[in-house]
Amino acid sequence: MNSLPPDGTLWLNACMQKAFQSVALIGKISNPVIREQVLVLARFLAAREVRVVVEEMTVRHHDIQGFDSVPLDEIGLRADLAVVLGGDGTMLMAARALVNHDVPLVGVNQGRLGFLTDLTTESMLDAIAHMLNGEYAQEQRLLLGASLSRHSRVESEGHAMNDVVISKGGVARLIDLELTIDGEFVHRQRSDGLILSTPTGTTAYALSAGGPLLHPRLEAIVLVPICPHTLSNRPFAINSMSQVEITLRSPDDALVHLDGHLHAKLHCGDKVVVQRLARAVTLLHPVGHSHYAMLREKLHWG
């Protein structure tokens, strides 16, 4: 497959042979409707002499038979395209699992909003057929890496496609955070927490907390305070190459989440360092895909 232009713009890939020889299918395990859609797509691909592998948990929960079963962490070694059937949560899971592999993702929406999974059940087969012929739009989405340090020692690391969130724990009181960007002290804030969002994540938690919408091709990270004590603490954007350091000053009760999943509990003095990963996630869309049309539909703009 051809490489993406350095500016990350949408482009079309046209070639005579099949653009993808092996396709992995990843389905949302909690939705019973997924089973039939996985089987329909698997048979469609097999009829076009495309090798099909199905993610292991999808096979187990939906009783998919007749196709190779592959663990999620091995899909990057067995497929050159992954089709995700579910919602944005399933797409985020797949993106994190395949972060070290150059496997593009395409999403079929079976969730509620589907900002990342833009194919419908009705358009799925036609869109995939065009993609097999090399007719698609391609873009890259940046990822964030987060590391937790305690007493000057790294305790844990992880990455996120949507956001890294520092939030209060079970105690109903504000937490005190100190924010440093590229080694320069910015401020201390008392709030319910702080969201560090990629452009992709600006349609998720950051939007609900009052953050701005960023076009996915922008090279930026948005910092959105959650219910700040001082109303002048407003969301702001920084260059995506910046390094952000958050130190928990008080109390000894806070959490860090990556894409909505609990990553670690924080203690007073802990530092969370967030910065852009060198790798990105590649998404495929049908030809003519428009980010603005998607926002118009999902957010019910006039």
Assess contact for 28 and 110: CB atoms under 8 A: yes
Please report whether residue 113 resides in a domain.
yes
Please report whether residue 4 resides in a domain.
no
User: How many C-alpha atoms does 38 have within 13 Å on its Cβ side?
Assistant: 33
182 is catalytic: no
Residues 291 and 274 in one domain: no
Residues 153 and 109 in one domain: no
Other CB atoms within a 10 A radius of the CB of residue 66 amount to 10
The CA–CA distances, whole Å, from 210 to 140, 187, 287, 293 equal 25, 20, 32, 22
CATH number for the domain spanning 54: value is 3.40.50.10330
Residues 152 and 266 in one domain: yes
If one counts the domains in the chain, the total is 2
Assess contact for 18 and 133: CB atoms under 8 A: yes
Catalytic entry in 7, 88, 192, 253: 88
Tell whether pTM > 0.85: yes
Residues 157 and 57 in one domain: no
Please report whether residue 206 resides in a domain.
yes
Residues 211 and 242 in one domain: yes
CATH number for the domain spanning 231: value is 2.60.200.30
pLDDT in tens, the chain (302 residues): 444 444 444 444 444 467 899 999 999 998 889 999 999 999 999 999 999 999 999 999 999 999 999 999 999 999 999 999 999 999 999 999 999 998 999 999 987 778 999 899 999 999 999 999 999 999 999 999 999 999 999 999 999 999 999 999 877 789 999 999 999 999 999 999 999 999 999 999 999 999 999 999 999 999 999 999 998 999 999 999 999 999 999 988 899 999 999 999 999 999 999 999 999 999 999 999 999 999 999 999 98
For residue 258, what are the domain limits?
144-278
Please report whether residue 59 resides in a domain.
yes
Please report whether residue 10 resides in a domain.
no
